[in-house]
A and B are shown apart, each in its own frame.
Chain A
Amino acid sequence: MPGTPTEIATRHLAETSRWKPLEFAFWLVAFGAIWLLPSHHLILNEIIITALFAMSLDLILGYAGIASLGHAAFFGFGAYFAGIFAIRVIGDPLTGLILATLASGALGFITSFLVLRGVDLARLMVTLGVALVLGEIANKMTWLTGGADGLQGVMMGPVLGLFEFDLYGRTAYVYSLVVTFLLFLLARRIVVSPFGLSLRTIRDNPLRARAIGIPVNRRLIAVYTLAAAYAGAAGALLAQTTQFVSLDVIALHRSADVLLMLVIGGTGYLYGGFAGAIVFKVLQDVISNWTPQYWTFWIGLILVILVLIGRERMNHRVAVLWARLRGKPEPRPRTIVGGH
């Protein structure tokens, strides 16, 4: 590539923040589905909400290296907050969504101090513990949450005072999609910013990050708060579009599923959550039609294969194939040494 070092450096940095054709294609399809797949809006709504939830986990796991087994704490908190707010205060979706997002962020901020100390295993246990505690609180406070019966009687007003939620999930899907898209745009901007880059140094090597002057703890608090707010937004969307909240939103399996999706889709590029959520939900749909009771068997098998083969190697295969198809030189393999 020609150019002075300065030009090359500028171009390289600009490259990482530029939109790739595949990204345009992805969002075109997602928005196109509003008109092209009218009979699938309910499942699409579920997928996009799950994808937003998975993206929020990617922000802390893929970018800052915080492994969490209790991310559903924030998803569930957002869902209950939005549901209760609609019942007790007003049914306007946007007001509820914004407040639920902020409240979940606040909860994330408070609990972030617990994940600062310790490394992976300690963090897994602490996040798991927080989610279990919150789950049990939701279970016990029957007067507020409905306990094991779930939160009933959530009545939502029309979005922006114009669009009523319908039985086919059309408004629900459009609403969730637009909110997810806006939050994605913000996240995409954040991850390529100086702030986002500093998070990646913490993920790769917190010791050195500190040694070049990065206040590691404050950055982790900031991103954990952000991720909690995103998860809360996803939970609020689910509560509002399904008009029901059950203990399921905060259950352990939801935290585990979202981690699984991220592993399937890949971490650290924001789309992993989307890819994982689509694969996961579609597989769930297809396999459970075929063998309703044993679908987790297949998901488990796929997970084991994925981890054994290794994503880097698989991605490299795809890159080589792609280069061959386009007649370009083959990319060099990336060494895995020292990587995460």
Chain B
Amino acid sequence: MSAALETVGLEKRFGGIVATDNVSFRLEPGARHALIGPNGAGKTTFVNLLTGVLQPSAGTIRLHGEDISAMPPERRVKRGLVRTFQINQLFAGMTPLESLGVAVSERMGHGYEFWRPAGSKSVVIDEIVEIATRFKLVDVLEERTASLPYGKQRLLEIALAFACQPRVLLLDEPAAGVPEAERHDLLATVAALPRDVSVLLIEHDMDLVFSFAERISVLVNGALFTEGTVSEIANDPRVRAVYLGESLDG
């Protein structure tokens, strides 16, 4: 069976700097996988390569066996590769209802329908409400996004990705800035995703990683440092050294 998402010899250079260094990575179908690494390890560059925001200097990216290396970002989304952002990327002047509505209609292929009012299809509405309920956004559906409290904006950030019905979901520090109490709700929602959705969590909060992931990959200086199960990684002295900034020989 082919991997849900796979990179072979992926590389990204900015002038003389190697931001992603020969990364060959495999995300199994249904995986709950975490990608960790110290600040500046190249996690965000890696995500930008996967989603097509950046073009790789070398290497291949495959989504369910299909080569997507040269595909523009929006086509990758249609193929089921969806991401969330570390810093909220929302539609400030629109309501959550409208934002989710656009994502749902776009996925259903209604994006060019200009002759009928948005919201005249009950399938779309039903799905918006279902997602809003799951992410506790029902009571703020009609508010302008810019005026929502941060916690709600964070939920909307993730809900928007859900609305695209991902097959592979990339979560870029989903809990960043979310208060402790809401953190668990957020992760519970992610963990409750059906198993046919494969999830890659990019995070540096270790507690979160250990409670969510089944496998962990460690990225250091743009290259894959090691990979293993949660207990393997948790007990790996080299990983601890990297995180504490100690030298490996020391």
Contact = CB atoms under 8 A, between A and B. Distances in A.
A268 B78 CA distance: 29
A340 B142 contact: no
Given A13-B125, A200-B91, A193 B103 contact: no
Contacts of B204: none
A338 B99 contact: no
Given A213-B107, A339-B146, A9 B114 contact: no
Contact of B102 (A12, A192, A197, A332): A197
B41 interface: no
Interface in A151-196: 189-190, 192-196
A335 interface: yes
B102 A198 contact: yes
Given A6-B125, A13-B118, A214-B106, A334 B164 contact: no
A305 interface: no
B118 to A, nearest CB: 5
A337 B88 CA distance: 13
Interface in A243-271: 268
A210 B73 contact: yes
Contact of A10 (B90, B116, B119, B145): B119
Of A13, A17, A219, A334, most buried by chain B (CB within 10 Å of CB) is A13
A9 B99 CA distance: 12
Interface string B144-158: 111100000000000
B129 A212 contact: no
Interface in B104-163: 105-107, 110-120, 122, 125-126, 128-129, 132-133, 138, 141-142, 144-147, 160-161, 163
Interface stretch (A123-131, A201-209, A281-289): A201-209
B83 A211 contact: yes
A5 interface: yes
A200 B90 CA distance: 12
B93 A197 contact: no
Contact of B101 (A197, A204, A215): A197
B89 A335 contact: no
A208 B86 CA distance: 12
Contacts of B77: 210-213
A195 B160 CA distance: 18
A155 B57 CA distance: 62
A17 B117 contact: yes
A335 B117 contact: no
Interface residues of A, number: 45
A8 interface: yes
- Taking residues whose C-beta sits less than 8 angstroms from the other chain, chain B's interface range is 35 or more
A334 B144 CA distance: 8
B116 A338 contact: no
Nearest to B139: A5
A201 B99 contact: yes
A203 B91 CA distance: 8
A224 to B, nearest CB: 14
Contact of A210 (B74, B102, B112): B74
Contacts of A222: 112
A192 B117 contact: yes
Given A5-B138, A10-B119, A214-B111, A204 B125 contact: no
A279 to B, nearest CB: 24
B144 to A, nearest CB: 6
A216 interface: yes
A222 B112 CA distance: 10
Contacts of B193: none
B106 A340 contact: no
A246 to B, nearest CB: 35
B91 A208 contact: yes
A2 to B, nearest CB: 14
Contact of B97 (A12, A17, A198): A12
B85 interface: yes
B28 interface: no
B94 interface: yes
B217 interface: no
A334 B141 CA distance: 15
A193 B114 contact: yes
B95 interface: yes
A13 B117 contact: yes
Task: Kindly list the 6 A-B residue pairs having the minimum CB-CB distance in the complex, ordered from nearest.
Answer: A13-B119, A213-B77, A208-B89, A17-B117, A204-B91, A338-B92
Given A208-B160, A212-B161, A215-B74, 18 more contacts: A9-B128, A194-B102, A194-B106, A194-B110, A195-B112, A200-B94, A200-B98, A204-B94, A208-B90, A211-B73, A211-B85, A211-B89, A213-B103, A334-B147, A335-B146, A337-B146, A338-B145, A340-B92
Interface of A: 5-6, 8-10, 12-14, 16-17, 189-190, 192-198, 200-201, 203-205, 207-216, 219, 222, 268, 332, 334-340
6 contacts: A9-B141, A190-B114, A194-B113, A204-B94, A208-B91, A339-B93
